[in-house]
Structure 1
Amino acid sequence: MTVQHRINAYWTGRAPSYDEYVQRPDRFAADQQAWSAVWAQALSAGPLDVLDVGTGTGQAAVLLAGLGHRVTGIDLAEGMLERARQHAAAMANGPVIQHGDAVHPDFPAGSFDAVTSRYLMWTLREPEIAVANWVRLLRPGGTVAVVDSTWFPNGLDNAAENFADHYDHQVQAVLPLATAQSIDQTVAVLEGAGLAQVTVTPLASIFELDRRFGVAPNHEHQMQFLVTGQR
């Protein structure tokens, strides 16, 4: 089993519980409002053609579509794709959800105005190659916008069921941002791909929601960041 197959298997198994957490009713409306504001800040007014890489259950893709963008979401974990398709089908002008590799997205150059991701960078193999490929997909003036944090600065110590079985040492060896000490390491990847005006925005609104409602199991309460760059 390849490294990526191990990652896919983990997230396919996690998909039901992950999606239930994202959709939990106690903070769903607040999350929708806060994350919509994050993505509205990240991208110019649409409608834009947006590729959401590592779309997971489609949380970002659905919100981006709700902002009026034309969104395509890709992922390699079939369990996540199943959930994302269900959410996309439930809305008018929802995102198109496809099987696809975030590192090597199979689209012609200049296909999109923006490439987005949420909680992907830490588990992204070959991030330098991936972001360079995203830049190739952008039209002039396009945007890369990623949301992530430094989830495991002290190593991938996570008590989630089967996490260590899938994110073993072989997997960790090819995920250079998995144990990043600072969001600056993600900034360096975007700058290295030739993006200009790379900007980091701490997501205080999400931090406050996590304070009010609590964080996901086996996670710490910590700041998340929006990192954007322009082609």
Structure 2
Amino acid sequence: MSSRRDRWAELTGGQDGEEYARRFARLAEAGHDVHGEAAFCDALSEPAARILDAGCGTGRVAIRLAELGHRCTGVDLDRSMLAVARREAPALEWIHGDLAHLDALGLDPGFDLVLAAGNVVPLLAPGTEPVVVRRLAALLRPGGLLVSGMGLDAAHLPLPEPTVTLTDYDHWCAEAGLTLRQRCATWSGDPFHEGGGYAVSVHVRPAA
């Protein structure tokens, strides 16, 4: 495992699972759409796609994608988050592990889509970001998609300042053999404009 703590662990101490789940339950009860990420990924996918939710947290997105008929696996380093996911959807595959060491988890490659939502990339352990992107890309089939969502300013992050730029992220994706296919400002697909505070990026692994 990485010797450096990820930024999420620094923020929460790895004990935030139940409160995180309650927060989204309150949003849903208030009438907010909490399935934007799943709807976005579903629209990009063929039926019964094989999807990896990297940094799956409490499983909210993977569970919804499974309800839509996809074959989902979730990976997270936060045991409190995974405890909620396993309780809510015990039939799905939930794996405890560090995204910087995905190669050690025994996952079969060939995923149709790999998702890193919820500011996963900005909250990684400092310096591990290029490695994680490379690990995620390696799990994609030719033609498979890496989908990420990340805040680009303090207003869209649980941090005082951004840790990743889109230039950095696109460079890491290019080094991993991926090409940018689409970029939006929201999970609803709103157009992205330079200087925006949030980006949803879709990179593709070129077909062999």
- Sort the TM-score into its range (normalised by shorter chain): 0.7 to 0.9
Confirm or deny: 8 A CA contact 1:201 1:226 kept in the other structure.
yes
Structure-2 separation of matches of 1:179 and 1:203: 19
1:31 aligns with 2:34: yes
Q: Deviations over 1:83-136 (max 9, x none)?
A: 1112223xxxx5311112212212355342221111201112311111111122
1:21 aligns with 2:5: no
Q: Specify which of 156, 161, 179 is matched with residue 163 of structure 2.
A: 179
**In structure 2, do the counterparts of structure 1 residues 224 and 23 end up closer, same or farther at CA, with 3 Å as the change threshold?**
farther
* Count of residues in correspondence between the two structures: 190
Greater per-residue helix proportion: 1
Structure 2 length-normalised TM: 0.77
**In structure 2, do the counterparts of structure 1 residues 179 and 23 end up closer, same or farther at CA, with 3 Å as the change threshold?**
same
Map 1:114-125; keep pairs closer than 5 Å: 114-119=113-118, 120-125=120-125
Aligned to 1:188: 171
Aligned to 1:133: 135
Aligned to 1:170: none
**In structure 2, do the counterparts of structure 1 residues 227 and 193 end up closer, same or farther at CA, with 3 Å as the change threshold?**
same
Confirm or deny: 8 A CA contact 2:6 2:124 kept in the other structure.
no
Give 1:155 shift.
10
User: Which runs of 5 or more residues in structure 1 are unaligned?
Assistant: 159-177, 208-221
1:199 aligns with 2:203: no
SS, match of residue 121 in structure 1: coil
Aligned to 1:101: 98
Give the CA RMSD over aligned residues.
3.0
**In structure 2, do the counterparts of structure 1 residues 35 and 135 end up closer, same or farther at CA, with 3 Å as the change threshold?**
closer
Structure-1 separation of matches of 2:163 and 2:7: 18
Q: Deviations over 1:110-169 (max 9, x none)?
A: 3422211112011123111111111221111111111121243899439xxxxxxxxxxx
The percentage of aligned residue pairs carrying the same residue is 26
Confirm or deny: 8 A CA contact 2:37 2:187 kept in the other structure.
no
Give 1:194 shift.
1.3
Give 1:73 shift.
0.1
Q: Deviations over 1:59-92 (max 9, x none)?
A: 2211221221110001111101111112223xxx
